[in-house]
Structure 1
Amino acid sequence: MSYHCFLDKLAFPNSFRICPTLFLKVYKLTGIISVLCFKGYRKLSNEKKLEWNNRGFSTFHAFIASTASLYLLLLSDLFSEDYHDELIINRTSSLSETVLGISIGYFLSDLAMILWLYPALGGLEYVLHHGLSMFSIFLALVSGKAQIYILMVLFTEITTPFVNLRWYLDVAGLKSSNIYICNGVALFLGWLVARILLFIYFFVHMAIYFDQVKEIFPLGFYSLLVVPPMLAIMNVFWFWKIAKGLIRTLSKTRHSR
């Protein structure tokens, strides 16, 4: 069976197929724009340039995933109680499937780069995070089940641009600048809302609709019980590191004045 026939059999959207090419173009475009906008880019080592460009398509995916997830969860009527008689865990749309296909393509592309340059782009925690994310998105995309919960988790990508900007400013030698401090505060608050409080809402929502959650096929059901708590633990761990870094930066700024 050919590659494309295999994808057709799984009913993957076309977005999954074009993702590797799309992110490769964004990767290259990041390098072109950086040469024009940041003089220090040419002086970076090859490893730094690679990570710089990698964070470019990471930011690109974050904007797509978080914006589309916000629209589907809050602005569209896909998961509204007033417009559908179907169980909330069974609801899906062409847009939600497109978003999930794009995200699988992103995580697969990024994981390939992480493993290729391991551990320069991230350690085991990133491999685990990407692996769990792809596994969960894959199940939701193929089965059409529990997409509301996958979209909640994908919305947490809204914090990624702040993480990447923090790295860019550090590499550019602007770690003591006001924009670095403001970005650190924004990252802290964004992480608190999107990756801590939202996960609490996630678990409360699952508890309220647990009678529907139990209707999911066994692998999907047990994955919902295991994967989100693991991601939540990682989010709490990273939040602790972000908080420590922000406190350290604010303390240095206060003492320098």
Structure 2
Amino acid sequence: METRELTVVAGSFVGFQLLFSVASPRLSTAITPGYGRLPPNKLTEWNSRLVSTVHALIVGLFCLYILWFDDAVNANPVWGDPNLVKLNVAVTCGYLLYDLVLLACNWSSMGDGFFVCHHLAALYAYGYVLTRGVLPYFANFRLISELSTPFVNQRWFFEALKFPRSHRMVVLNGVAMAAVFFLVRIAVMPSYWLSVFATFGTPEFERLGVGAQVAWITSCIALDILNSIWMYKIARGCYKVLTGRGGRGGPGGAEEKPSNNHTD
């Protein structure tokens, strides 16, 4: 891994930690008085989700820019110029490391095995991108999923502030969350895997070596399984709200949210 990527990973880790511990409490207090009335465990999760939203917006929008304008990556998805993709992946790796530390420090209230598996699978695959510069198109494509995270977090913010689940803003956010989650995490699966299968047997694929091939395929399978589980929970919760079956104390407003802090 080059010095630039190491610096970005470290800077991302420190930056998100400062956002969690310093900026988020001040910003949240200024935005809503309800923040100060939350119990300590919810304050921690609130700050965590605000950081998650900031990360998702940075990475997700940069991902779209690369997808639309980086011709080198799109022309050769396996060995294209990874310069911009590596920067985006480095930011994400720093965030994932920060979040793993946060989960470990608050395991009793925030810990969840699904999220640990998600983060470790992502770090395992992205490690190859950072160290060898391989699979830039596919690494960038996976980061499109971050665009659903702000809606998931906003749903939790509404619930923490005790908005009724029948509130118009809550329902609209929930429907948008289900739609965006489906579009960026589920609907893209056929296109993604067709692109993956198209590389099989090519010289570019063979150059990867067994280690990178296994890391790529197994991590993608694991992430897609997790995304499918989360989509099922979100769709079930959304159905309950739209049909009037999701009461205030029910299992999900517009989503049966994962038990941890976010689905990035």
Deviation of 1:26 after TM superposition, in Å, equals 1.8
Q: 2:28 aligns with which of 27, 34, 37?
A: 34
Q: 1:58 aligns with which of 52, 55, 59?
A: 52
Deviation of 1:16 after TM superposition, in Å, equals 1.1
Q: Distance in 1 between matches of 2:211 and 2:239?
A: 42
Q: 2:225 aligns with which of 220, 223, 233?
A: 233
In the alignment, structure 1 residue 243 sits paired with structure 2 residue 232? no
In the alignment, structure 1 residue 191 sits paired with structure 2 residue 185? no
In the alignment, structure 1 residue 150 sits paired with structure 2 residue 117? no
The answer to whether the Cα contact below 8 Å between 1:206 and 1:213 also exists between their aligned partners in 2 is no
Q: What code does the residue aligned with 1:184 have?
A: G
Matches within 5 A, 1:217-232: 217-232=209-224
In structure 2, the residue corresponding to 1:59 is in which secondary structure?
helix
The answer to whether the Cα contact below 8 Å between 2:19 and 2:51 also exists between their aligned partners in 1 is yes
Matches within 5 A, 1:1-257: 12-27=5-20, 28-81=22-75, 87-174=76-163, 175-210=165-200, 211=202, 212-252=204-244
Q: Distance in 1 between matches of 2:140 and 2:2?
A: 23
In structure 2, the residue corresponding to 1:173 is in which secondary structure?
coil
- Tell me, which stretches of 5 or more residues in structure 1 are unaligned? 1-6, 82-86
- Tell me, which stretches of 5 or more residues in structure 2 are unaligned? 248-264
Scaled by the length of structure 2, what TM-score is found? 0.86
Q: What code does the residue aligned with 2:59 have?
A: A
In structure 2, the residue corresponding to 1:69 is in which secondary structure?
helix
Scaled by the length of structure 1, what TM-score is found? 0.89
The answer to whether the Cα contact below 8 Å between 2:185 and 2:227 also exists between their aligned partners in 1 is yes
- State the identity %: 23
The answer to whether the Cα contact below 8 Å between 1:72 and 1:78 also exists between their aligned partners in 2 is no
The answer to whether the Cα contact below 8 Å between 2:124 and 2:219 also exists between their aligned partners in 1 is no
Deviation of 1:254 after TM superposition, in Å, equals 10
The answer to whether the Cα contact below 8 Å between 1:96 and 1:147 also exists between their aligned partners in 2 is yes
Q: Distance in 1 between matches of 2:233 and 2:33?
A: 31
Q: Distance in 1 between matches of 2:123 and 2:85?
A: 15
Q: What code does the residue aligned with 1:225 have?
A: I
Q: What code does the residue aligned with 1:189 have?
A: A
Q: Distance in 2 between matches of 1:159 and 1:34?
A: 21
Instruction: State the superposition RMSD in angstroms.
Output: 1.9
The answer to whether the Cα contact below 8 Å between 1:13 and 1:98 also exists between their aligned partners in 2 is no
- Shift of the 19–48 alpha-carbon distance from structure 1 to 2, 3 Å rule, reads same
* Structure 1 moving runs of 4+ over 3 Å: none
Q: What code does the residue aligned with 2:156 have?
A: W
The answer to whether the Cα contact below 8 Å between 2:78 and 2:205 also exists between their aligned partners in 1 is yes
